[in-house]
Amino acid sequence: MSSGRFLARAEVSAEPVPFGTTRWLSRPATSGARALAVVEVTLEPGQGHAFHLHPNQEEVIYVVAGEVEQWLERERRTLGAGDAVFIGKGVVHASFNTGGGPARLVAILGPCVGESGYEVVEVAHEAPWKDLR
C-alpha cells in the first residue's frame, strides 16, 4: 500500500464525456486509492449529468466555478462557487450548468468501488426523474 502520490496536472488527462470533461484525481488506477474517488468535472453551458445515483458510495460535490442547478432527489437549488452538496448512498441527484460559461466541480466519492473507483446507475429516463426538468 502506498503512503501517497503527487499528481501533476500533465499526468491527469481530461476525458471527454457527453456533458463536458472529467479529470480523475484519485481512484485505484490513478492514485492507488481505495477509499476516495475524486474527479474534477467541467460542465459545458447548458449541459449536465442528468439524474443518477451511486448505490454504494457517498458523494460531496463542490462548485469551484460557475453556476449549477443541483438536484438532490426532488429538491433543486442553484449553487455557485464555494457551495457544496452532500449526497448519501443511493440518493438520486443531478447537476446542470445554468451559467453562461463552463462550470467546474470537484466530486468526492467514497469508498472506491471496483477498479474504476466509481459506480453509477443512470435513472434520467425513468419516472419521476424524466419529468422533473
pLDDT at position 12 over 70: yes
In the block, residue with C-alpha cell 441527484: 93
Q: Assign 10 to helix, strand or coil.
A: helix
- What is the structure's pLDDT at 2? 61
C-beta of residue 119 within 8 angstroms of C-beta of residue 113: yes
pLDDT at position 20 over 60: yes
**Mind listing the pLDDT tens digit for each residue in 74-122?**
999 999 999 999 999 999 999 999 999 999 999 999 999 998 999 999 9
In the block, residue with C-alpha cell 470533461: 21
In the block, residue with C-alpha cell 437549488: 77
**pLDDT band (50, 70, 90) for residue 44:** very high
DSSP state of 119: -
- What is the structure's pLDDT at 3? 79
Rg for the chain, CA atoms, rounded: 15
| Mean pLDDT (the chain, rounded) | 95
